[in-house]
Chains A and B, each alone.
Chain A
Amino acid sequence: MMRLNPILSQKIIKTLLWILTGSTIGILFFIIIYIFIKGLPQLSWTFLSTNPVDMGRSGGILATIVSTVYLIGIALFFATPLGLGTAIYLTEYTREGLITKIIRFGTESLAGIPSIILGLFGFAIFVIAFGWGWSLLSGGLTLSAMLLPTIIRTSEESILSVPQEYREVAFSLGVGKWKTITRVVLPAALPGIVTGIVLSIARSVGETAVIIFTAGSSLRFPSSIFESGRTLAVHFYILAREGISMPMAYGTAAILVLLILIINISAYMTMRFLMKRYS
Chain B
Amino acid sequence: MKEKIIEKILTLLAFSAIGVLLLITVFIFKEGLPVILKAGIKDFLFSAKWAPTKGHFGILAMIISSLAVTFGSIVMGVPLALACAVTLAEFCPPRLLVFLKPTIELLAGIPSVVFGFLGVILLVPIIREYLGGPGLSLLAASIILAIMILPTITSISIDAIQAVPLLYKEGALAMGATHWQAIWLVILPAARSGVVTAIILGMARAIGETMAVIMVAGNALKIPSSLLDPVRTLTSTIALEMGYSAGDHRTALFAAGMILFIFIMALTILANLLMRKK
Contact = CB atoms under 8 A, between A and B. Distances in A.
A209 B91 CA distance: 39
B100 interface: yes
A13 B180 contact: yes
Nearest to B261: A117
The majority secondary structure among interface residues of chain A is: helix
A195 interface: no
B24 A206 contact: no
B157 interface: no
B173 interface: no
A9 B180 contact: yes
A90 B178 CA distance: 44
A27 to B, nearest CB: 6
B211 to A, nearest CB: 5
B249 to A, nearest CB: 14
A112 B100 contact: no
Contacts of A121: 23-24, 27-28
The majority secondary structure among interface residues of chain B is: helix
Contact of B104 (A28, A112, A116): A28
Contact residues on B (Cβ < 8 Å of other chain), bracket: 35 or more
B260 A117 contact: yes
A25 B100 contact: yes
Contacts, number: 228
A82 B115 CA distance: 32
Interface in A80-119: 81-83, 85-86, 88-90, 93, 102-103, 105-110, 112-119
B37 interface: no
Interface stretch (A14-22, A48-56, A219-227): A14-22
B210 A14 contact: no
B181 interface: yes
A240 interface: yes
B98 interface: yes
A141 B208 CA distance: 20
A270 B10 CA distance: 28
Contacts of B269: 109
A135 interface: no
B109 A203 contact: yes
B167 interface: no
Contacts of A25: 100, 103-104
Contact of A120 (B86, B91, B179, B254): B254
B235 A114 contact: yes
Given A206-B112, A264-B109, A88 B18 contact: no
Contact of A117 (B19, B24, B91, B272): B24
Interface string B159-200: 000000000000000000111110000000000000000000
B117 A240 contact: yes
Nearest to B118: A31
B113 to A, nearest CB: 5
A236 interface: yes
A176 B3 contact: yes
Interface string B85-109: 0111001000000101011101101
B40 interface: no
Interface of A: 6-7, 9-10, 13-14, 16-18, 20-21, 24-25, 27-28, 31-32, 34-35, 81-83, 85-86, 88-90, 93, 102-103, 105-110, 112-121, 123-125, 145, 148-149, 152, 176-178, 202-203, 205-209, 212-213, 233, 236-237, 240-241, 249, 253, 256-257, 260-261, 264, 268, 272
25 contacts: A6-B180, A7-B178, A9-B180, A10-B178, A17-B86, A20-B83, A25-B100, A82-B16, A89-B13, A106-B17, A109-B265, A110-B18, A113-B261, A114-B205, A114-B208, A117-B24, A117-B260, A120-B254, A121-B28, A124-B28, A206-B114, A208-B113, A208-B210, A237-B113, A264-B109
